[in-house]
Amino acid sequence: MLRITLPLVRPFHTTRGVDVERRLCVVRVVSSEGEGWGECAALNEPGYTSEWADGAASVIEATLAPALLRGGSAADPLNPMASAALALAVLDADLRATGVSLASHLGATASRVPSGIALGLDAGLDDVGSAVEAGYHRVKLKIAPGHDVDFVRSVRAAWPDLALQVDANGAYSPADADHLAALDDLDLLLIEQPLATDDLDGHAALAARLRTPVCLDESITSAAAADEALRRRACSVICIKAGRLGGLDEAVAVHDRCLAAAVPVWCGGMLESGLGRAANLALAALPGFTLPGDLSASSRWFAADLTEPLTLDADGYLAVPSGPGIGVSPRADALARFTESRVTVRP
């Protein structure tokens, strides 16, 4: 297991401040038949979730990896992102050994997926323009009270045909329904997580009030949670993040439920390196992912990635890796440059 720090090419604003680097917990699993890699989606500090990169590394070292080596389960509902990283590394090793790509294993039907970019509360029209010029198919704007309708209206006026959505990260209350309804005239793909994570009733009432589709992100912690949200009509779109769901198995389960119910889904991002981004691309190639996700080029966040950089093609798409396993591997020079520490857990 490696603790890695990648410098960011631009600051990332969090609930606790501003990050200028991305700390990563990366898992390497070695078996008699080969090796596999997994990346933990947890951010630098707890806040967005209760997990964080260094904490996840400690959990994997002290609990999850030893349990796996004893023949037990490495799944831990209290640490889904740590569990997902270890499970991905194990799966990657198995798939590499058999020559099967992750995309094929999951049931992917696309060889490339449309790109999408998320812009923070500090973004302006110039940032949107740069994203459009770079070829991104979809732009997501962060919104919060005091920075919402007027700014989104200015973006829509400048780019009438841009695929545009907004993300509130739970910043509003049910009392803001009339204010948020002003977004209905701006032809948005969706509004993501407008209310608190546990407020399904509030989301249902808001979804009934708005014409703009309501999407849930942080509220979707399992396939059962997705079922409940849809049953209560709290959303009509779902964002799938494999790390938050505890791994790809649960992510595919949510996808399958939504596909059967004709509910569109898209793949969320967590500032992943090329390792985690490659896994997201395989997931986003499943047939139910009909909306562009948070799938950007490596250069969006990193001047130097752990893997060979993932880039947009001339049409603004990202290729789904087709090689065995996740289809990419960390470069030896990048590991040597960015690894801060490593721990080996043995049987």
User: Span 42-67, mean pLDDT?
Assistant: 96
pLDDT (tens digit per residue) in 94-112: 999 999 999 999 999 999 9
Tokens of 287: 């047939």
Q: What's the pLDDT band for 14 if we cut at 50, 70, 90?
A: confident
Cβ-contact 180, 172 below 8 angstroms = yes
Residue type, 267: C
- Whether the pLDDT of residue 315 is over 90: the answer is yes
User: Span 261-269, mean pLDDT?
Assistant: 97
Q: Quick one: pLDDT at residue 74?
A: 82
Q: Quick one: pLDDT at residue 347?
A: 85
Q: What's the pLDDT band for 169 if we cut at 50, 70, 90?
A: very high
Q: What's the pLDDT band for 18 if we cut at 50, 70, 90?
A: confident
Tokens of 325: 């396993």
pLDDT (tens digit per residue) in 187-233: 999 999 999 999 999 999 999 999 999 999 999 999 999 999 999 99
Rg over alpha carbons for the chain, rounded to the nearest Å, is 19
**Whole-number Å distance between alpha carbons of 224 and 228:** 6
pLDDT (tens digit per residue) in 112-124: 999 999 999 999 9
Following CA atoms 261, 85, 61, 302 in sequence, which dihedral angle do they give, to the nearest 10 degrees? -140
What's the gap between Cα 24 and its chain centre?
14
Write the DSSP symbol of residue 112. E
pTM tops 0.75: yes
The answer for residues whose C-beta is within 8 angstroms of residue 73's C-beta and 6 or more apart is 67
Following CA atoms 319, 325, 328, 330 in sequence, which dihedral angle do they give, to the nearest 10 degrees? 160
- Whether the pLDDT of residue 15 is over 80: the answer is no
Helix intervals (H) in the chain: 53-59, 65-69, 80-98, 102-106, 125-134, 149-158, 177-180, 200-209, 223-231, 248-260, 274-284, 332-338
- Whether the pLDDT of residue 32 is over 90: the answer is no
Q: Quick one: pLDDT at residue 73?
A: 87
User: Span 272-294, mean pLDDT?
Assistant: 98
Q: What's the pLDDT band for 238 if we cut at 50, 70, 90?
A: very high
Q: Quick one: pLDDT at residue 325?
A: 98
Q: Quick one: pLDDT at residue 17?
A: 75
pLDDT averaged over the chain?
97
**Whole-number Å distance between alpha carbons of 252 and 256:** 6
Start-to-end CA distance of the chain, whole Å, equals 14
pLDDT (tens digit per residue) in 78-88: 999 999 999 99
Q: Quick one: pLDDT at residue 162?
A: 98
Long-range contacts of 127-136 (CB under 8 A, 24+ apart): 128/155, 128/158, 128/159, 128/162, 129/158, 132/159, 132/162, 134/297, 134/312, 134/316, 135/312, 135/314, 135/315, 135/316, 136/296, 136/312, 136/316
DSSP bridge pairs for 142: 167
Q: Quick one: pLDDT at residue 234?
A: 98
b vs e for 203-214, b when ≥16 Cβ sit within 10 Å of the residue's Cβ? bbbbbeebebbb
pLDDT (tens digit per residue) in 66-80: 999 999 888 899 999
Nearest to 119 by CA among 165, 159, 83, 158: 165
Nearest to 4 by CA among 35, 42, 34, 30: 42
Sorted by where each starts, the structural domains of the chain and their CATH numbers stand as: 2-99+328-342 (3.30.390.10), 105-319 (3.20.20.120)
User: Span 274-278, mean pLDDT?
Assistant: 98
Tokens of 233: 């009509």
pLDDT (tens digit per residue) in 127-153: 999 999 999 999 999 999 999 999 999
The answer for residues whose C-beta is within 8 angstroms of residue 70's C-beta and 6 or more apart is none
Catalytic residues: 142, 241
Q: Quick one: pLDDT at residue 308?
A: 98
Q: What's the pLDDT band for 333 if we cut at 50, 70, 90?
A: very high
